[in-house]
Homo-oligomer: A and B are copies of this chain.
Amino acid sequence: MPEGPDLMNAPVDAATQLELDRLYAGFEAENLAPLWTQLGDLMPMVPAPKAVPHVWRWKTLYDLARRSGDLVPVGRGGERRAIGLANPGLGGAAYATSTLWCAIQYLGGHETAPEHRHSQNAFRFVIEGEGVWTVVNGDPVAMRRGDFLLTSAWNFHGHHNDTANPMAWIDGLDIPLAHYIDSGFFEFGSERVTDEASPSISRSERLWSHPGLRPLSVPDAQVASPLAAYRWEHTDAALREQLALEDEGYPATLAPGHAGIRFSNPTTGGDVMPTLRAEFHRLRAGASTDPRHEVGSSVWQVFEGSGTVVLGDTEQRLETGDLFVVPSWVPWSLHADTQFDLFRFSDAPLMERLHLNRTYVPEVSR
Provide the residues of chain B in CB contact with A8, threshold 8 Å: 72-75, 77-79, 81
Query: Interface residues of A: mostly helix, strand, loop or mixed?
Result: loop
* Chain B residues within an 8 Å CB radius of A80: 35-36, 39
Contacting pair A266 B264 (CB below 8 A): yes
Q: What does the 1/0 interface line of A298-327 toward B look like (CB < 8 Å)? A: 000000000000000000000000000001
- Of the residues B88, B207, B354, contact of A350 by C-beta under 8 Å: B354
CB of A289, distance to nearest CB on chain B (Å): 12
**Cα distance, A334 to B356, chains bound together (Å):** 34
Please determine whether B213 and A27 come into contact, CB atoms closer than 8 angstroms.
Answer: no
Question: Contacts A1-B186, A88-B31, A98-B180 given: A215-B264 contact, CB under 8 Å?
Answer: no
| Interface pair A94/B215, CB less than 8 Å apart | no
Residue of B nearest to A8 (CB): B78
Could you list which residues of chain A lie within 8 angstroms of chain B, going by C-beta atoms? 1-2, 4-10, 16, 19-20, 23, 26-28, 30-39, 42-49, 51, 54, 56, 60-61, 64, 67-68, 71-88, 92-94, 98-99, 103, 118-120, 153, 175, 177-188, 203, 206-217, 219, 221, 223, 225, 227, 230, 234-235, 237-238, 241-242, 244-245, 250-254, 260-269, 272, 274-275, 279, 281, 295-297, 327-329, 347, 349-351, 353-356, 358
When distances are taken between beta carbons in the complex, the residues of chain B under 8 Å from A207 are 241-242, 245, 252
A-B contact pairs, 26 of them (CB 8 A): A7-B77, A8-B73, A8-B81, A23-B64, A23-B71, A33-B84, A33-B92, A33-B93, A35-B94, A43-B118, A43-B184, A45-B186, A48-B182, A99-B181, A177-B181, A181-B328, A209-B211, A210-B238, A211-B234, A212-B266, A212-B272, A215-B261, A216-B254, A217-B254, A268-B269, A349-B354
- For the complex with contacts A7-B77, A32-B56, A153-B356, 19 further pairs of A-B residues with Cβ separation under 8 Å are A8-B74, A31-B85, A43-B118, A45-B185, A46-B184, A47-B183, A98-B180, A99-B181, A181-B347, A182-B295, A210-B237, A211-B230, A213-B262, A216-B262, A217-B251, A217-B252, A221-B269, A274-B354, A353-B354
